[in-house]
A and B are shown apart, each in its own frame.
Chain A
Amino acid sequence: MPDFEPVLTANIHKPDSHTLAVYRQNGGYAAIKKVLGGMTAVEVVEVVKASGLRGRGGAGFPCGLKWSFLPKDHPGPIYMCVNADESEPGTFNNRILMELDPHQVIEGIIIGCFATRARAAYIYLRYEYPLSLRRLQAAIDECYASNLLGKNILGSDFSLDIYMHRGAAAYICGEETGLIESLEGKRAWPRIKPPFPAIEGVFRKPTVVNNIETMACVPHIINRGADWFKTMGVPSTGPRDPGSYGPKLYCISGHIERPGCYELPLGITCRELIDRHGGGVWKGRKGKAAIPGGISMGLLAESEWDTPLDFAGPGKAGCLGLGTAAVVVLDETVSMVDFLHNSCRFFAHESCGQCTPCREGTSWSERILARIKAGQGRLKDLDLLLGIAGAIGIMPGTTICGLADGAAWPIKNAINKFRDEFESYIRQTNPSGADRQEPAEALELVGLGAH
C-alpha cells in the first residue's frame, strides 16, 4: 500500500534477500556498528524502552522493560533465548522473516544481547521450519566469517555466540518457560513463576526470552530512533495500555481472497485488513467471524470487524487479546460447531498434561464437541462447556501457564457470540435427547473452580 512504507519486509522481495551481501547493500548491520561505536548497554535499553516496542509473540510485554528486569551487575552468564517456536494456528510471520531476511533478525539479536549483556543466544526454532533452519544457520555462519559474531565483534570487546536449537513439534515450547525447560533437555513443562526468567531462567541463570519479530524491529529503532518508531501505531488508550507502536506483520488466512503476510502500522481494523489488503472474504461470500490473532484469542463476529488490531483492541470486543495478530477469516458457510471442534481438538492435543484442569478440561471439551458434532449434543452441553472454559487457565488461577486460557477463549467467544447456532444445531441433530441430563451433572461434579 502506498500510504505505508514497509520496514520489516522492505527487502524480502529482492533476489537473495537472505544473504549477507544483499542485507548489507540495503544498509544492514549499520545499527550494530552504531551500537558498538559508542553506545552503552543502558543507552540501548533506554532507546528501546522509549520506542514503546512491545513483544510480538503474543503477550505484548514492553521489550525494553523486560530487558531492564535483568539483575544489575550480575557476574553472568546471562542468556538470551529467541522464541522461534511459532506454532499458534494461523501464524506464519516469523517464518517469512527467518526465510527471507534472516540477517535482520540476527542483527536484532546481536543488539539485544549487547543491551542485556548476554554472551550466548539460543534460537529455539520449531521443527516444522526446515528452510528457516537452513537460512538462519547460513546467516549465522556468514556472521562468524565476517566478525559479526564470535570473539570481539567488529574489533570491540563484545563477544557473542548464537546457536540454533531445534524443537520437536510441541506447541507448548512457545510458552517461554516451557521453551526454557525444553532447551535444557527436559519435557517442556512450564515453570511456576516467580522466579521469572529474568532472575532465574535457562540453566538457572538470568535469561531474556524474545520473539523473532520483536528482535527484527530493534535494528530499525537504533538506526532511526524511538520517535520515528512512534510515528507508526496508536497511543495509549487507557491507564493500563502502554500504547501500540511500530509496524506489525499481520497474517491473513482462511476464507480470504489473498492469504498472506501484510506489514502495516499497528492499529489497522480487522475489516480494513480483510477488505483492503486481503482482497475481501473469498468467493464473494459474506464473512461470519474472524480470529483476531491466532486461534487462542477467540473470535470477532463480523459485526465486530471494525475493531482495531492493536494491543488493546480485541480485548475490548471480548477476545483474549491481539495475540500474534494472525487473522483467520470464517465465511458465512462455516459451522461454528466444526470451528469449535477443531479448536478444542488442537488444545487437547497440545496441552502438556502438567496441570490437571488443563489436561482434563481440554480433552473433555474435545469429547463434548465431538459428541455434539456427531448429533448427540444436549443443550446443557453449552453451559457445561462454558463452565469448563471459565475454570481452566491462569485467569481463574488453576493452571501454571496460559495455554488453557487460550483453549477457553474460543469456547467462550463461540458460544456467547453464536449461541443460537449451537442451540439450533443441537435441536436439529438430536431432537429427542437435547435435554438429557448426565449423571455427573446430577452429582454436581461439574463445578471446577479453584478452591
Chain B
Amino acid sequence: MSTTDAAPVLTPEMRQEICALFPRYPTKQAVTLPALHIVNEQLRCVPMRAIPEIAALLELSPAQVHDTLSFYGFFKHEPCGKVRAWVCRSISCALRGGEDVLAALGEKLHVHPGETTPDGKVTLEFGECLGLCDFAPAMLAGEKVFKNMSVDKVDEVAALLQAQAD
C-alpha cells in the first residue's frame, strides 16, 4: 500500500528499456546491473528513491538492489556532472606522470577527485587502470579518450571538458 504521492523516479521509457532486457536472462535479478546503468545514464546517478522502483520491476527486495548497487562505487546517489572524467592513477600512467596530471586538473577545476564543479559540468575522478596504458597518462571522459596527457596540457584539457559538457 503506497502512501507516497511523490512522482516516480523511473520514467515509462526507462521501465520499458529495463523490461525489454528480461528475455535475455533466465532471472530478472540478472537485469540489476543493466537497470542501474539505464537509470544512471539518464539521471547521472541512481537516487535512493529509484531503488524500490527498480526492485519492484525485478521482483526483488529493495535491499537486494541496494546491496548490489553499493558494491560498485561507480553508482552515486547524487547527480554527477554532465561529463564524468576518470584520470588513471594506476602504474603505467603513474610512471608517466598520471598522478601529477590528476592533481593539476583538480587544481584547475577547483575540485578534488570525486567532486563536481559548482556549475555541475564536470565530475573529476581517479580511475584504476583504464586499459589505455599505450597512451599513458590517459583519461576517459564520458566516451572520449584523452591520450598522452601532461601537466602542460591541463588548461586545454579543462576547456575541452567544459565544452564537452555544453
Contact = CB atoms under 8 A, between A and B. Distances in A.
Contacts of A254: 91-92, 95-96, 133, 136
B152 interface: no
Interface in A60-116: 77, 86-92, 94-95
Given A168-B74, A295-B91, A346-B128, A185 B133 contact: no
B33 A90 contact: no
Nearest to B28: A185
B133 A128 contact: no
B94 A171 contact: no
Candidate in B30, B33, B64, B132 with the most chain A CB atoms within 10 angstroms: B33
A328 B67 CA distance: 36
Interface range on chain B (Cβ under 8 Å from partner):
35 or more
A90 B129 contact: yes
A299 to B, nearest CB: 11
Interface string B127-149: 11111111110001011010000
A339 B91 contact: yes
Interface residues of A, number: 55
A154 interface: no
A169 to B, nearest CB: 4
A277 interface: no
A404 interface: no
Given A90-B91, A131-B143, A334-B95, A185 B29 contact: yes
Given A188-B71, A342-B90, A342-B94, A128 B34 contact: no
B136 A184 contact: no
Contacts of B129: 87-91, 346
A255 to B, nearest CB: 6
Contacts of A126: 131
A54 B64 CA distance: 37
A292 interface: no
Given A87-B131, A184-B30, A127 B74 contact: yes
Contact of A170 (B34, B64, B72, B89): B72
B19 to A, nearest CB: 15
Contact of B27 (A129, A184, A343): A184
Given A328-B91, A346-B90, A349-B128, A253 B136 contact: yes
Interface in A292-306: 295
A31 interface: no
Contacts of A52: none
Interface string B54-78: 0000100000100110111111000
A182 B130 contact: no
B86 to A, nearest CB: 7
A92 B33 contact: no
B68 A92 contact: no
Given A251-B133, A253-B92, A87 B128 contact: yes
A89 B92 contact: yes
A352 B145 CA distance: 27
A352 B27 CA distance: 24
B149 to A, nearest CB: 14
Contacts of B116: none
A345 B27 CA distance: 36
Contacts of B34: 165-166
8 contacts: A89-B129, A165-B33, A169-B128, A184-B30, A185-B31, A253-B133, A350-B128, A352-B71
Which 4 A-B pairs rank lowest in CB-CB distance, beginning with the nearest?
Answer: A185-B32, A187-B71, A253-B133, A168-B72
Interface of A: 77, 86-92, 94-95, 126-131, 161, 163, 165-171, 182-188, 203, 251, 253-255, 259-261, 291, 295, 326, 328, 330, 334, 338-339, 342-343, 345-346, 349-350, 352
